[in-house]
Structure 1
Amino acid sequence: MTTSTERAGLAAEVAPGRSFWSQRLRDYVTLTKPRIISLLLVTTLAPMVLAAGGWPSTGLVVLAMIGGYLMAGGANAINMFLDRDIDSLMARTRLRPIPSGRMSPAHGLGFGIALAVASFLLFALAVNLLAAALALAGLLYYVFVYTRWLKRSSPQNIVIGGAAGAFPPLVGWAAATGGISLTALYLFLIVFFWTPPHFWALALVKQKDYGKVGVPMAPNVWGEQHTLRQMILYTGILLPLTLVPVTLGELGVVYGVAALLLGLWFLYAVVKVARASDFTRPAWSLYRTSLLYLALLFAAVLVDGLVPELSDPVETPVLLVNPDLVTEP
């Protein structure tokens, strides 16, 4: 008996008007998860601009973007290889190239490894070794710490494993400077604390799917109300954290105003989900809001780097007095 998933795969292979190579190209792109990578590239580019104090050389930006896409795409392809068993059981993922049968698991794994190797060599030979090492570390963390270890064993999978998605700011900073600064670490932490409320919004909506395949997402293990309280907690930490670089003079007023307004908007969206009697629609809205929030926040970082004169920290005016004009009583 042919399953619906197998039928979908066969239909895709013989769809009229679509050649084998056209479908294969689509599947290669799908393996890389381009929509997710687009946000990762924003969190790579903005730190590059900030670290360089302006737009870096266009050649360096292009190399870093290509290298970042290849490494993230490789990580996503390997992730799809490792998760092919549960992907085939979830409505959201069962039509992906490997579980649908359009691509063999070995082919998907080989594609992912090839992308990772190409990315590492590109970074190491054309950018610098530190950027290459950090990009590879992000892939290894995502594949082994998150996918292989935590995803199926702990409700903390998103908290601890989510650090993998916070590597791009470090990669971008290293690509521009050859080093890592305190500001880069703050940007890493911002993405780290953003990840739980972002992904748990999706987990609230898809908790039945995750429960069916035995993935211990927070709503399935802790319950919905505890998960919602944790989302408020992490967002409450995130908001002041985004302002710390401003108080230390590492980012300017333009970024600071944007971070405050965006943070209040994000916190409002999280609280709205927590207070809803039926959180399905507001949780979906929060998931989309969180993506826009991070993109706009790092866009503000980029502006801070491109237009430093508009982003200088506010200084308290100092009254200068000529001592010769001061008379004693």
Structure 2
Amino acid sequence: MNNLKMRLSHNTGALIAFTLFIILYVFYSSLHPRGFTSDLFVQNSNEAMALILVAMAQTLVVILGGIDLSVGSLMTMVNAVASEVVIGSGWEIFFGIVFCMIVGLCGGLLNGVIIVYGRLQPIVVTLATGAVFTGIALLIRPRPGGEVDGDLSWVATSALSELPATYGWWTDPPGWFSLIAGIPMPLVILAVIVCGIWIPYRNSEIGRGTYAIGSNEAAAYMSGVRINRSKLAAYALSGLFAGLAGLYFAVQTGSGNADPIQAGTYTLNSIAAVVIGGASLMGGTGGVIGTIFGVMVLRSITFCFRVVDTDSVVGFLANPLLQPMFEGLILVIAVTLGAARAFSVKNRLNMFG
């Protein structure tokens, strides 16, 4: 019983984000003409997937007690790279995907190396490297264009039923497959990433070291945590997640676009999503599960704007010219509430007691 209470207390933010998401999404679906259908869920999953991956990248750095201002730019750079290399034969597409992941990993590792061995503040380093990543993206893709394999784009952005149908795995699907055929492929991809990368990392010595460093770096060092190794691993994994975001965005759109404004928007939204998901900007708490629901809260708010009746009392919310202002206010409130607990304690160690 005590163990359950401890788990609930440590995941309060994630549970609140999950509850908010359910409330907002049910409201949105109840007003949408195609509400509560698989097609709508697939569409909404696609719209949220890239931000989820960018926010997962941000989560790793926030757990360490920093903020990464380069995740959106790194996503944009990999997006530009993907529009050049994820095309051709099956093996060429496979190696193109691997290359994009390596680019993201190296970008994150570069941040880590400069921060760890240069002993510089993460926010300063990532602001600088973000500008470099954006410059490289513009060099590769000075104007929107490029191409990504059409079959891959279709499969990755549709329901699971399109996977065997597109690649001809079988002509007569087994009966059990109908039970899962309507699941959006973005959710399948996300489940693979969480189960295959995040959970093993979270339960590893390096992952636990990341939380210890964010809670109290001096205490972590005295406890034998290998500080440099844990930081480098966290930044490298952050870069990998950002790279996966850029790769998915290229697959989703079928092209590349080195847009600095888009990069900045994704970066800021990723910070808000991490805070909404229950992470502390002081470090040491949070996780990607809460972050995922934090993103879904942000996206659900945007979805709700679409279905508001313009003739209703709150019809002004449907005005596309005012929506960026409302979204900005929501981000400010989210980050402020997330930081409020840090200002309410006298001893920083109380944050993690």
Tell me the TM-score normalised to structure 2 length. Answer: 0.30
Tell me the TM-score normalised to structure 1 length. Answer: 0.32
Bigger Rg, which one? 1
Higher relative contact order (CA 8 A, sep 6+): 2
